[in-house]
Amino acid sequence: MKKRYGVSMVWKMTIATMLLLLVPIFIICIIYIQMYQKTSMETADGKLASVLGSMQGRIDETLSDADVMLDELFYRQEFSYFMNDKNELSQREINYYTSSVQKELINNRYLYSNIFGNIGLYSLNRQVKADWQFPLKTLEEKPYYAEVTVDTQGAVYGAVRESELVFSTLDTNHIKVGNANVYVLPIYKKVYAIGTKDVIGVVETDVDINRLMEVTSLRNDDSGITKIVADRRKNILINTGERDKSLEKRVMERIKEDRGTEELYIDGASYRMSYSVCPNTGLVNIALLSRDDIYSNIFNMVTGVLLITVMCLGVMGIITYLVISNMLNRLVVVDVMMGKVREGHFDVLIPEYGKSDEISRIGSSFNLMVAHLNEVLEEKVRNEQAQKDAEIKALQAQINPHFLYNTLENMRMQCEIDGYYMMGNSLAVLGELFRYSIKWGNNEVAFELEWQNLKNYLYIMRMRYEDDLEDELECDYGLEDVIVPKMILQPLVENCFSHAFKTKMPPWKVRVSARREEGSLVIAIQDNGCGIEKEKVAWIQKCLDENKEIRCSQKQRKSIGILNVKQRIEMICREGSEVAIESTPGEGTVIRIIIVL
């Protein structure tokens, strides 16, 4: 017997337990891997954003220096005078102007680490003969002159092109025109004539793209991120990674807005790309990172998780085997004893092992069951007979509520036929009220139905009391579909007629309002009845808080309406829902229902 149940069942249950454990472990592993992927992607996005910020910061810093340099140059030089072709310059003025500008340009070269060394001046005044000043017409004939005509008082940033301005050497005292064969970002600042505000000259400085972006530091970055810089025409200027025409083309096709983050899939490879467009220069800064680099450590992480999982499963398998083996050995005894009971022997007992686990409690329960089995069987027979008798009596005393509702409906239809429309309407409302009260298949209803049932009840009351009763109903819009316990309004309004108006002369007023306040449905039922003394209000509220019966001392009967409503609200609604009562003697009573939505 032990071999049959102790060995085979142990292994079956152990394997089944391990298989069940594999499901949550597998789900946890998947969730962990997904969280790791999400974290890796967020980290990658942070790195890409940091790289873009660094690139844009370098551009902004250089452009800021350019603005400062141009402002200082314009401040120290009277360009508005010397570039105006309407002014006749003396040789002394020309020499002063030439020397001053020459000195300023060379100082700027050394002051700004030769970043703004390539500077040219275009002037309407041709009296000045210098290697760094050219006729304005020379600039106007350039295909890119339209860039200069932008209506602005400040610096104008042109499109990236090959430089046409260059210093000869660091040691010379003059500047000459040449072709540097390097890509530069031209920056222009216009000179206006005093008074007329006509353009009489242009100062141009060319910033080497490599210096603008510090290409050397970009390439030496070991983050694995490829940095790409393109001009406003989407031509690639700098690429710190391997030049791949198809990749560069796909990258530039995805540039649609001023900034963004995109996923690229090219030839089976996946990339994460972030980009931003410089608002002043139109330069596009792009940071690109391969998804393989993002998830470079995921293989090692998955391997480690699997090893830990296998080790945990092994340890858990051994423990499970030992526990189940011990349990089944004792269950064999229980099975033998139960077999004897099936044969009709009720004098058997399972040995007590002095333990308090579930199997020991099963054994104790089994012994009690056997000791009282005959008594239980006899009691069961008696109970079944009593139940049958109760069912027969209930059937005899039962009144079919649907028969009453159908009778009211037939009476209403007959009133409609005979022309007694007011009586027919009253019967219809009474039928609706009756049908709503007998349908208790669902303890929760939409607030719209509960509100309509209250209207039906007040209709019947108005028909009964006529002008002695005034009612007012207010309900906020949007509460129709809120789910509330059934029959919470009519019993409380009925209390007004049962208690509040007993010793109060008409007119009687009932006001019911329903509002949404701070995530809760607040219902207030107010009457102008006789009111309740302060001590009695406190006693009623205490009974409600402690779920105690509210007994009427005069008639020795219980008032269960408000307590029943309060208990059902606490059982069905969310925590924090409550019923509160306030009253002023001689003025009336207010009952508030607060239901947390």
Res 378: pLDDT? 66
Identify which of 188, 82, 78 has the alpha carbon closest to the alpha carbon of residue 126.
Answer: 82
Query: 264 in helix, strand or coil?
Result: strand
The answer to the question of residue 26 being in a domain is: no
Interatomic CA distance for residues 94 and 74, integer angstroms = 17
Residue 84's alpha-carbon distances to 27, 139, 141, 155, in angstroms, are 80, 16, 20, 20
pLDDT tens digits for range 322-372: 777 776 666 777 777 777 777 766 667 777 666 666 677 777 777 777 777
For the segment 134-158, what is each residue's pLDDT rounded down to a tens digit? 898 888 888 888 888 887 778 888 8
Chain-wide mean pLDDT for the chain? 78
**Which residue range(s) make up the domain with 151?**
77-213
- Burial degree of 483 (CB within 10 A; 0-12, 13-18, 19+): middle
Tally the domains of the chain: 2
What's the CATH number where 500 sits? 3.30.565.10
Q: Whose CA is closest to 9, among 357, 335, 438, 311? A: 335
Asked if the structure places residue 346 within a domain, the reply is no
**pLDDT > 70 fraction of the chain, expressed in percent and rounded:** 79
* Element (DSSP H or E) covering residue 56: helix 8-76
**Residue 190 — left, alpha, or beta (φ > 0 → left; ψ -120 to 50 → alpha)?**
beta
Task: Provide the CB-side half-sphere exposure for 274 (13 A, CA).
Answer: 18
Please state the rounded mean pLDDT for residues 44-52. Answer: 85
CA distances (Å), 266 to each of 9, 44, 90, 294, 318, in order? 56, 19, 67, 16, 50
Q: Which of 190, 213, 236 is the last residue of a domain?
A: 213
User: In the structure, what pLDDT confidence band is assigned to residue 22 with cuts at 50, 70 and 90?
Assistant: confident
Integer Cα distance of 342 and 324 in angstroms: 26
Decide which of 213, 237, 265 is a domain's last residue: 213
Where is average pLDDT lowest: 13-17, 80-84, 180-184, 483-487?
A: 180-184
How many residues appear in the chain?
597
The closest of 120, 30, 26 to 70, measured between CA atoms, is 120
Domain end point (choices 179, 213, 247)? 213
Question: What is d(CA 199, CA 374) in angstroms, rounded to the nearest whole number?
Answer: 118
Mean pLDDT in residue range 295-321 = 78
Residue 363 and residue 350 in contact, taking contact as beta carbons nearer than 8 Å: yes
Q: In this model, does residue 6 exceed pLDDT 50? A: no
401 assigned to some structural domain: no
**pLDDT of 377:** 64
pTM over 0.75: no
Domain-embedded: residue 456: no
* DSSP state for residue 182 in the 8-state scheme: -
**Alpha-helical regions (H) of 350-400:** 358-371, 373-397
Decide if pLDDT at 559 tops 60: no
Q: Is the pLDDT of residue 379 over 50?
A: yes
The arithmetic mean of pLDDT across residues 294-306, rounded, is 73
pLDDT digits (tens, 9 = 90+) for 166-190: 543 333 343 333 344 678 888 899 9
* CA dist., res. 320 & res. 316, Å (int): 6
Q: For residue 558, give the H/E element and its range.
A: strand 557-559
Question: What does the alpha-carbon distance between residue 491 and residue 564 come to, in Å, rounded to a whole number?
Answer: 9
What pLDDT, on the 0 to 100 scale, is given for residue 60?
A: 86
Q: Say whether 343 sits in a helix, a strand or coil.
A: coil
- Quick one: pLDDT at residue 248? 78
In a domain, 34, yes or no: no
CATH of the domain at 82: 3.30.450
Note whether residue 153 is domain-resident: yes
Has residue 38 been placed in a domain? Answer: no
Q: Is residue 44 part of a domain?
A: no
